[in-house]
Structure 1
Amino acid sequence: MELSDYIRVLRKGWLLIVVFVVLGVGAAAAYSATRSPIYTANSKVFVSTQTGNNANDLLQGQNYSQDRITSYAGLVSTPAVLQPVIVGLHLDMTAGQLSKQISASAPLNTTLLEITATDTDPKRAADLANATAESLGNVVQALETTDADQNVSPVKLSRVQDAVVPLSPSSPNIPLNIALGLLVGLAIGVAVAVLRETLDTRIRTEHDIEAISPAPIVGGITFDPKAPSRPLVVADDPFSNRAEAFRTLRTNLQFLNIGEDAEIITDGEPVGRTRGRSFVMTSSLAQEGKSTTTANLGLALASTSSNILVVDADLRRPKLASYLGLEGAAGLTDVLLGKVELADVVQRWGKSNLYVLPAGRVPPNPSELLGSKRMAKLVEMLEEQFDYVLYDAPPLLPVTDAAVLSKITTGSLVIVAAGRTHKSQLRSAVASIEQVGASVGGIVMTMVPTKGPDAYAYGRYGYGYYGEEQADGRGKKKRSRAEKKAEAARA
């Protein structure tokens, strides 16, 4: 993943990250609130030796004290030191229990011993530290005294700092706990967001497509929640961003140079040549916007004064005729079976240069009809009569119709629904086309989000020069001259 991908993941999973941060802070606050406050008091003891007054004796005494101070620190937690403390302070606990509240440390290269006591009562914490320092001095003096010393210990422990009653608890450290909870929640949230993105197999960006197929991405159609009620957005709302995306797709398709003057071979025999003007519009699965893309692309191409034919080659679930408001009882199936002439079933859409060949009756053998020599001859004839021919074919994964048809046309335009099509599905769809010796001319992304982190890469596909609506001075939507002409063409 690149840096831009991580930024997109963070933008996409910001809500999840915030939830984990709140949970982390909440858990830290709850933990701090349920913990009893602990107070800490410290006393310091200076360790010295009673030696001569010359410099050599003083140096030897200091070295002796430094060597012994670690041992004295270990004596702090022993019953010999703690039992007198328990008796003196009238504590109801054992020396083992008290040792968990007392600790000692000696800074390096010093003869200072710091005794630390903790307790839920601040005054008792200070009393424990002072009493332990006093008891340690007595124990050390008794241990270091020998008969040779004539009951005088060569080591002396002097308390140089008495423990004072602490004013605030040392634990729990609420600011520190909350900061740790925030950092832990942030780390978990980012990790979960990245993991979710890694495990997500749906195609969301053009990078996902580029990792599967080298075919160019020729367009990106923005998502429109009103698409089911107005499938022909190029005619119904020509100044919308979505209509502009179809015109951008039209421009890219005009510059797409694949299969120019290629030979059509069916059953091992050449049956004609294609001039690079016929494209199969297909997808991996249903409900990816294949038929609406075909219809709107046909309308966009027809607006350039070219003669465009849209063929409903989905002989299983034809939709183009209903989208375009045309009669679809007779069409491609009847032409292939020799029951009608082509000119009798091709219909003109309004007064535009768009012509439509409906699917006709649903046959029992769609794949055989689309892969027949008669179909190959029809493809060649249609390319001679029209500038562009678009075939709305069934999805690639359920049936082989589109792959069979791709073999006798210029190439395929595979429709991919952003956030819906899985990578494995697109990979299988591309493989099914290549297995028959055909090529994927380009890939069109549909349902591209207009907002959010997944929308950043597709801004170039639809610029929306004109805005979505023009209002008059009273705030009502004003119908443009182009919209009126589009309605007249449909009529």
Structure 2
Amino acid sequence: MDLRDYLRIFHKNWILIALCALVGVAVAAVFSLMATPKYKAETELYVSVRAGDTAATTDLVQGTSFARQAVTSYVSVVDSASVLDRVIKELKLDTTPGALAAKVSAESPLNTVLIDITVTDDDPQRAADIANSVGKNTSYIVTNKLENAQGGASLVNVQTIQPATTPTRPSSPNVPINVLLGLLVGLGVGILASFLRSILDTRIHNAHDIEQVTDRPILGAVSFDPSAKKRPLIVHADPRNPRAESFRSLRTNLQFVNIGGPRSYVITSSVPGEGKSTTAANLAISLAETGARVALIDGDLRLPKVAEYMGIEGAVGLTDVLIGRAELTDVLQKWGRGQLYVLPAGAIPPNPSELLGSAVMANLINDLTSEFDFVLVDAPPLLLVTDAAVISKLTGGAILAAASGRTKKNELAAAVRALDHIDSRLVGVVVTMLPVKGPDSYGYGVYGYGVQNEIVDDEVSDHRVRRAAQA
């Protein structure tokens, strides 16, 4: 994956990432609001060693050194039972030394004779009282119990140099920090979920996904149009529509992929619903716009759609020619003002694969290829039946339609393998149903000058199709 792949994942899943971040912030805020506030009170003790009036400088240095060594032991005395028992009795607390020890912590800064005592409690005044009492009783235990040699005066002196005051603000929960952590955790979860979603998503979305399956070129890209079923012949119904221009780009690319070879192609897909029939019809119309002689054959003898899309009578067609019941010149219908001729499927036979793989079909393709500049055959999906694979051996190659967000990578790979196994040529791939917005969208330039987003009424489009079919 390169930088563009990461950016595409972020762009595609930004709503998920933002939602996870908001959830993280909300959870952190609710937790902070529901948590019981805790207050910290701190006091500081100073440990020293007494020396007599006649003490030498060496004695003072030795006393200070002893205090530094002993202070680490005195830290452990702070939360001992002997100290906390006296604190509980003094303040009349309803608790045990073990429970109180969980609220008391002590430490000594490095190379000092100081002891910092911190008490955490949900009552600010009680926290200060406990801290001062702990400091006072630690001093008592050290000087009167631990360092009182033979009942005399203790040489160690522990005194409070910073008494605890009542805290005015809670130490926890720290709402800003919690919200920031919630935001970071939410972003992390959202990004992780986005990558998992991208890894687990096996559908084709863009050119990069297709390049992972096959090295054949991408001949064209057609955006998704929710009204495609109502006006499938977009090149004829709305010539200035960006989708119409995309079929013209497909036409241009196709004119250069098989220079010198037979310009007959079977147009198919991996599975149903990928737009192969509309691609074949619109490509045929766009080729005819250049003045080329084009023959469009409906080779889908199982679920024919070309006659319906082109607005012509389809009761008699390819099937009748293959079984010898009709002549090609009698059923080949001229469409539009150009040199486009359509051969509908005719009646649905019980043995489509046998008819399409027959010598008669091969002769028919050869005759049309010699007479027309382009021959396009709309065939059934490759993974359902063998019809398209059979026809591809009779033509110059196959063009695969792959629907963005619908076709799975393994389906496209299986379709490519099906063609490779019979040594059939895959001319290229046409990506259909690309989203018009988002990281997987396909950018279209404005066709023509001025505002070209013409809205064609469905009835007008149907009328144009019928008129072109009758011309």
Provide the residue aligned with 1:111 in structure 2.
Answer: 113
2:445 counterpart letter in structure 1: Y
- Mapped partners of 1:323, 1:467: distance in 2: 30
CA deviations 1:120-157 (Å, max 9, x no partner) are: 1111111111111110011001211112xx61212111
The reply on whether 1:342 has 2:328 as its aligned counterpart is: yes
Please give the alpha-carbon distance, in whole angstroms, between the structure 1 residues aligned to 2:244 and 2:127. 77
Where does residue 33 of structure 2 map in the other structure? 33
- The 8 Å contact of residues 352 and 489 in structure 1, kept in 2 or not, is answered as no
- Indicate which of 56, 60, 63 corresponds to 1:61: 63
Kept in 1, the 8 Å contact 2:311–2:465? The answer is no
Count of residue pairs brought into register by the alignment: 463
| Cα deviations by residue, 1:190-245 (Å, 9 ceiling, x for unpaired) | 11111011101110011111010111000001111110000000000000100000
Q: Which position in structure 2 is the counterpart of 1:420?
A: 406
Could you tell me whether the CA contact under 8 Å between 2:21 and 2:187 is conserved in 1? yes
Matching of residues 106-145 of structure 1 within 5 Å: 106-142=108-144, 143-145=146-148
Report the equivalent of 1:91.
93
Does the 8 Å CA contact 2:446/2:452 hold for their aligned counterparts?
no
Match of 1:481 in 2: none
Q: 1:101 to 1:58 in 2, by over 3 A?
A: same
1:5 aligns with 2:8: no
The percentage of counterpart residues that share the same residue type is 49
Q: 1:386 aligns with which of 372, 375, 382?
A: 372
* Alignment partner of 1:43 is 2:43: yes
- Measured after TM superposition, the shift of residue 92 of structure 1 is 1.4
Match of 1:196 in 2: 197
**Structure 1 stretch 165-174 or stretch 46-55: which is displaced more?**
46-55
Pairing 1:440–2:446 present: no
Report Cα offsets for 1:234-279 as digits up to 9, x if no partner: 0000001000000000000001127x4xxxxxxxxxxxxxx42000
> CA separation in 2, counterparts of 1:306 and 1:435?
33
| Secondary structure, counterpart of 2:4 in structure 1 | helix
Candidates 438, 441, 448, aligned match of 1:466:
448
Structure 2 CA distance for aligned equivalents of residues 486 and 375 of structure 1: 29
- Mapped to 1, the partners of 2:126 and 2:468 lie a distance apart of 94
Contact 1:208 1:423 in 2 (8 A): yes
**Aligned-partner Cα distance in 2 for 1:54–1:477:** 108
Report the CA distance shift for 1:104/1:5 in structure 2 as closer, same or farther (over 3 A).
Answer: same
Distance 1:210 1:467, change over 3 A: farther
- The question of whether the paired residues in 2 share the 8 Å contact of 1:335 and 1:341 is answered with yes
Q: Which amino acid aligns with 2:447?
A: Y
Q: Which residue does 1:75 correspond to in 2?
A: 77
Q: For residue 90 of structure 2, what is the amino acid of its counterpart?
A: G
Whether 2:318 is the aligned partner of 1:332: answer: yes
Alignment of 1:87-486 (within 5 A): 87-142=89-144, 143-147=146-150, 151-257=152-258, 260=260, 275-455=261-441, 458-459=442-443, 462-466=444-448, 470=452
Kept in 2: contact 1:25–1:178 (CA 8 A)? yes
AA at the equivalent of 1:210 = E
- C-alpha RMSD over aligned residues: 2.1
The answer as to whether partners of 1:241 and 1:468 remain within 8 angstroms in 2 is no
> Partner letter of residue 213 of structure 1?
T
How many Å apart are 1:407 and its aligned residue?
A: 1.1
Between the aligned partners of 1:221 and 1:467, the Cα distance in structure 2 is: 21
Which structure 1 residue ranges, 5 or more long, are not aligned? 261-274, 479-483
Q: Which letter maps to 1:130?
A: N
CA contact 2:16–2:190 (8 Å) conserved in 1: yes
Aligned counterpart, 1:14: 14
Stretch deviating more after TM superposition (276-285 or 19-28): 19-28
The answer to which of 44-53 and 20-29 deviates more is: 44-53
How far residue 469 of structure 1 moved from its aligned partner, in angstroms, is 5.5
Render the CA deviation track for 1:17-43: whole Å, top value 9, x for unaligned: 122112111111111122111110100
Q: Write the distance in 1 (CA, Å) between the matches of 2:400 and 2:453.
A: 38
Whole-Å Cα distance in 1 between the matches of residues 280 and 64 of structure 2?
A: 95
**Which secondary structure does the structure 2 equivalent of 1:453 belong to?**
coil
TM-score, length-normalised on structure 2? 0.94
CA-CA distance at 1:477 after TM superposition: 8.6
1:87 counterpart letter in structure 2: K
Q: 1:406 to 1:202 in 2, by over 3 A?
A: same
Q: CA deviation at 1:288?
A: 0.7
Deviation at 1:466, TM superposition (A): 3.0
Residue 161 of structure 2: SS of its match in structure 1?
A: strand
Question: What is the identity, as a one-letter code, of the residue corresponding to 1:145?
Answer: N
Q: Which residue of 1 aligns with 2:460?
A: none
CA contact (8 A) 2:48 2:64 kept: yes
Q: 1:279 is paired with a residue of what secondary structure?
A: strand
Aligned counterpart, 1:268: none
User: 1:411–1:438: 8 Å Cα contact kept in structure 2?
Assistant: yes
Task: Measure, in 1, the Cα distance between the counterparts of 2:49 and 2:229.
Answer: 96
Q: Distance in 1 between matches of 2:421 and 2:456?
A: 51
- Do the aligned residues in 1 keep the contact of 2:240 with 2:453 (CA within 8 Å)? no
CA distance in structure 1 between the partners assigned to 2:449 and 2:467 by the alignment: 22
Q: CA deviation at 1:485?
A: 9.3
The offset of 1:488, in angstroms, is 6.0
Question: Shift in Å at residue 463 of structure 1?
Answer: 2.2
Describe the SS at the equivalent of 2:440.
helix
